[in-house]
Amino acid sequence: MRNEAAALPGLLSSLAALDPAPAEILAVNGGSTDASVAIALAAGLRVIRNPTRGRAAQINQGVAEVAPPIVCILHADTLLPDDAVAVMDVDCGNGPCCPLRRRRQAVRLKVLAGLAVQEPEATPGCPPNQS
């Protein structure tokens, strides 16, 4: 995030409404000079600083800071539906061939800049894209 003070309140409201709640929410600061960091901290987010400008550097650092199985990367102006975590869990992490189903690991949701979902590794014996 970089100078996203205007957009963060909407995103934070969207994240607070998620049911179930995400296991983790992380904000990566890319050099904000506005109140972005203070807003994120006040909302209880873990904020890390990235000294390199640019979304790619923020995303890479953020992904390195959390453990998959599922990582969702968001722009500060993204609004998610209330069931987004449940949908990601079913679509990316809790299908019949999913290793998460057996290990019962929590879904990880990460707030950064961009939008992507990282799927867990394939499970032996399961068809591609269904693990």
- Whether 112 is covered by a domain: the verdict is yes
- Whether 127 is covered by a domain: the verdict is no
- Whether 3 is covered by a domain: the verdict is no
Q: What is the DSSP letter of 56?
A: H
pTM of the model: 0.69
- Whether 23 is covered by a domain: the verdict is yes
Domain count, the chain: 1
- Whether 124 is covered by a domain: the verdict is no
pLDDT averaged over every residue in the chain = 76
- Whether 42 is covered by a domain: the verdict is yes
Provide, rounded to the nearest whole percent, the portion of the chain with pLDDT above 90.
34
Kindly report, residue by residue over 63-78, the tens digit of the pLDDT: 888 876 778 888 898 8
Q: What is the pLDDT of residue 98?
A: 55
Range of the domain at 106: 8-118
What's 63-122 look like in SS3? HHHCCCCCEEECCCCCCCCCCHHHHHHHHHHCCCCCHHHHHCCCCCCCCCCCCEEECCCC
- Whether 1 is covered by a domain: the verdict is no
What's the pLDDT band for 100 if we cut at 50, 70, 90?
Answer: very low
What's the pLDDT band for 8 if we cut at 50, 70, 90?
Answer: very high
**28 and 58 Cβ atoms separated by less than 8 Å:** yes
